[in-house]
Amino acid sequence: MNFKSLLLNFHRKALIATAIGTFLAFYSVPAAAEGITPQQLAEIKQIGTVVVSEDAGYVAYTKVIQHDPVEKNEPNDLELYLLELETGESRMVELASRPGNLQARSGHNTFSFTTRGSEDDAVSLYELDPETAQITRLYHHDRGVMSYSWSPCGNRFSLVTREDLGIPDNPLPYEPTVYEEYLPNREAYIVDLTADEDEAQRIEVDGSVYLMEWSPDGEKLAISETPTPHIDDFYMFQQVKVVDASDGSVINEIKNEGKLGQITWSPDGEQLALRAGHNLHDPIDGRVMVVSSEGGVPENIYHEFEGKLEQISWSDDGRIRFIASESTKRSFGAINPDGSGFERKVDTDGPILNAFSYADDGTVVFRAETSEHPNEVFVMEPGGSPERLTVSNDWLEDVPMGRQVVISHDARDGRNIEGLLIYPVEEDGGPYPTIVMVHGGPEAHYSDGWLTGYSLPGQVAADRGFAVFYPNYRGSTGRGHEFITSSQADLAGAEFDDIVDGVDYLIEQGIADEDRIGVTGGSYGGYATAWMSTRYSHRFAAGVMFVGISNNLSKWGTSDIPEELYLVHSRKRIWDDWQGNLERSPIYHVDNSQTPLLIMHGEEDTRVHPGQSLELYRHIKVRKPEVPVRLVWYPDEGHGNTRSTSRFDYNLRMLQWFETYLLEDDPEMPGFHLDFEELGVELPAEE
C-alpha cells in the first residue's frame, strides 16, 4: 500500500471515530440487543451519485436524505459534498435547492451540476471549483436544463430542455386534462460558452432526445431520439443518431432496436459501444453492442456472458470497462471491443458495485453497498481494491442484523434458481415465519447487498423474528439472455412456480414454517403477490400487494407501457388470446382465495392503474366476503411511494399485517388506524 493509501486509510478511520463520538453525544443509539426499527429505517441516509475529478484530487457526491416522516410528507432531499482524496476530509456544499446531473467538467478539473439557484426562474447549469468550493452559474435556459453533456474541451456542451408548446392561457375558471396530447418533446441544443453571443444551436431532430455523448474530437455527438415523449417510446424505441456539432444536423443513423441505456465512443471515434438490448425482445439494456459510428447494425460482442452489464465506459487504452451483475454478485472489469479479453479487475466476492467514475491516472470511485449498509463512496487506486470512504449511518455498526446468505435450488423442471435469504436476528434453528419478497419487472434481480427499505421487509422484519426470502425467479436479470427470456409468453406460469418451489426448498431445509408463509412485492411483484394470494392461496397465510396487477385484460388498456408489455413479456396481443390472458389474471382465481390480503396503491399510478387494485379488492369482497382484505390508497403517489410519511405508513402497515397473520395464533384483522404506540413509533410531544 503506497503512502497516499496509508494516509487515506488513517484519515478515514479517524473521521469515522470522530463521527461516531459526535453521534453518540447528541443522539440515542439503539441498545445492542435491538435491531433496526421502522423509525430508524426512515432516517437512513445513502450516497446518490459519485464523480471523481480528472486529477483524482477530489470526489463530488450527493447524499440522499429522508425527511422525518412524523414531521412532513416530502420526497427525499439531496445534499452535495466534496471529499478530498489525499486527506479523506469531506464537507457539504450549501445550495438553495437540490442538485442533479453531477459530472466532472472536461478539461477544467472542476465539477458541474444542475440546480435552481435562489435567483433562478428555472433549473440552471452550475460549476463547483473543488479547490475553493466556489459555485458559479455557467448557463441559464428559460425552460430549464433537464440534462447535459460536456464536449472533450469542456467549453461546449449539449443540453436537453422541454419544448415550448405555445399553449394559450385558458380564460375559463376550469380546465380539463386532455389525455396524452400536448406533451412537450425533449429538445436538444449545443452551447458554446466561449462564444460572444449567448445563443444555443438546435439539434435538428423531430422527436424527444435522451442520451447525448460527444465524440473524442469534439466534432460530433451521438444522441438517442424517440418518436414521441411517451414512456413506452423511451423504453422500446430509442434510435441512435450521430450529429454534426457545428450545425446540429444528423449525419449518420444507427440501426439499433430495443432497449437502450448508454452510448460511449471509442478513443479514435470510429465506433460506438451501446449498453442495450440484444434485440427488440430483450427485456433489458444489459448487453454490450458495438457498431461503426458511420452507421450499421450493432453487434452483441459477448453472447455467452451469463450476466448483465450495469454500466460501461470506453477507456483510452481501447478497452470497454464495465460493472456487471453476475447472479446475486457484481464484478468490475474490461473487455475488448471484439468480445475477447474478458477480465474481472474486481471479482464477485466484493461489495455490490452500482456505479463508477474514472480519473485520468486510473483511480476509480464507486457507489457501492453491502449486506450491512446501503450505498457509500468507495475508491480503488490503480492495482488496488475498493476501499470504503464514507460512513453515512455510523449507528448501523452497533445494530445486530440477521445473517444474509445466497440460496440455490432446482425448480420443478430442473432449472437452477437463486435468491437470497435473511435469517431472523435471533436464530433458534427454525423453522421460522417467512416473508417472500418478490421483485418487480420482472426484468430485475436482487443482489447480495442492502435489502432493507420501506417496501423491503429486510432487517426490520428480521429483528421481529421473520426470515425474509428474495427469489430471483426465471425472467430475472443477472443470469444471461436465455434466462431472462425464458419467462416470456408465459405470464404467471413457470416464473411464479419458481417462487413456490423456492418456498418448498426452504420448508424442506427446516428454515421456513409452512403454516406461516407471507408474500409481498410491488408492480410485477404485486402481480406475484396477487397470484400467490389467489391461485396459490392454500400455500400463503398472508399477502401484501403493492401497485400490482390483477387483470391482464384491463391492465393493457390502462397502462402507459402497452408495447413494452407485448414486446418483452407477453409476446402475444391480448386480442389474440382473451381467455388465456384472463386465466393468467388473479381475479380469475379469486374463488380459491383464503389468504388475508392487504392491497396498497398510489392514486396517481400511470404504470399499473389503481383500478387493478380496486378490481381485486372488489372481487374478493363480493365473491369471498369471509377473507380479510383491505385497500389503502396513497394520494399524490404513483408507481411506488416517494414521500417520507407515505413510505413510513406503508412500512408500518406491511409489518403490522404480517405480524398479525404470521405470528398470532388466532388473528383478528387490525384496525385501519395505525396504533403508533403499539408499533413503537415516537411521535412529537403535543404542545
For the ranges 28-37, 290-299, 407-416, the lowest mean pLDDT is seen at 28-37
pLDDT class of 19 with cuts at 50, 70, 90: very low
Query: How many Cα atoms sit within 13 Å of 188 on the Cβ side?
Result: 30
Which of 520, 380, 365, 374 shows the shortest CA–CA distance to 440?
A: 520
pLDDT class of 680 with cuts at 50, 70, 90: confident
Q: pLDDT at residue 451 above 90?
A: yes
Radius of gyration of the chain (CA): 26
Q: pLDDT at position 16, please?
A: 38
Q: pLDDT at residue 363 above 70?
A: yes
The CB density around residue 578, as the number of other CB atoms within 10 Å, is 12
Query: Which residue ranges form the domains of the chain, and what is each CATH number?
Result: 400-663 (3.40.50.1820)
Q: What is the pLDDT of residues 211-239, one digit of tens each?
A: 999 999 999 999 999 999 999 999 999 99
Taking the C-alpha atoms of residue 344 and residue 330, their distance in angstroms, rounded to an integer, is 10
Taking the C-alpha atoms of residue 107 and residue 61, their distance in angstroms, rounded to an integer, is 19
Q: pLDDT at residue 502 above 50?
A: yes
pLDDT class of 23 with cuts at 50, 70, 90: very low
Q: Give the strand order in the sheet containing 110-115.
A: 100-105, 110-115, 124-128, 135-139
SS3 content of the chain, % helix, strand, coil (to 5): 20, 35, 45
Q: pLDDT at residue 546 above 70?
A: yes
Taking the C-alpha atoms of residue 267 and residue 273, their distance in angstroms, rounded to an integer, is 11
Question: Residue 23 is which amino acid?
Answer: F
pTM of the full structure:
0.93
- Mean residue pLDDT of the chain comes to 94
List the grid coordinates of 292.
Answer: 461503426
Ordered DSSP codes for 595-650: S-EEEEEETT-SSS-THHHHHHHHHHHHH-TTS-EEEEEETT-BSB--BHHHHHHH
pLDDT class of 687 with cuts at 50, 70, 90: low
Q: What is the pLDDT of residues 45-83, one digit of tens each?
A: 999 999 999 999 999 999 999 999 999 999 999 999 999
Compute φ and ψ for 165, nearest 5 degrees: -80, -15
3-state SS string over 527-547? Answer: HHHHHHCCCCHHHCCEEEEEC
